[in-house]
Amino acid sequence: MKPENINFFEKVYEVARQIPVGRVTSYGAIAKYLGTARSARMVGWAMNGVNSGNSKNNTQDVPAHRVVNRKGLLTGKHHFDGTNLMQQLLENEGIEVVDNQIVEFEKHFWDPFKELGADI
């Protein structure tokens, strides 16, 4: 096993967990924060493990619904239990979602570098 890889996943969960309510971020932002900007796919894959009911991290601790692609489109909503679950969760937090897309995504965008600080 490679501890570094595990750190990557753990870091993704940690960052996603720190996302405040009513805010959203993109896979690329997290990936970039971790130093693997080109590996944004892995971030999404990590989320897949979250939904799958991983050992210590689960959807309750890691709000994957607050993580969307760079366009603010709910690309991963299909992976959720229901089809509208992701959108429902976002709307529940006060985020407007239309046609699987977050309204004013830039306004709700949560930048880990700016909020957490580029202290990696």
Contact 27, 69 (CB under 8 A): yes
Closer to DNA by CB, 42 or 102: give it: 42
Under rule CB under 7 A, residue 44 binds DNA = yes
Question: Could you give phi then psi for residue 30, rounded to 5 degrees?
Answer: -65, -45
CA–CA separation, 40 and 28 (whole Å): 5
- Residue 109: strand, helix, or coil: strand
> According to CB under 7 A, which one of 24, 34, 40, 102 is a site residue for DNA?
40
> Per-residue x/- mask for DNA, residues 68 to 97, rule CB under 7 A?
-xxx---xx-xxx-----------------
Under rule CB under 7 A, residue 12 binds DNA = no
> According to CB under 7 A, which one of 12, 24, 34, 47 is a site residue for DNA?
47
Under rule CB under 7 A, residue 37 binds DNA = yes
Contact 109, 26 (CB under 8 A): yes
Q: Can you name the residues that pair with 27 across neighbouring β-strands? A: none
Q: What sign for the dihedral angle of Cα 13, 18, 24, 30?
A: negative
> According to CB under 7 A, which one of 12, 24, 34, 42 is a site residue for DNA?
42
Q: Which residues bind DNA (CB under 7 A)?
A: 2, 5, 8, 26-29, 31-32, 36-45, 47-48, 50-51, 64, 67, 69-71, 75-76, 78-80
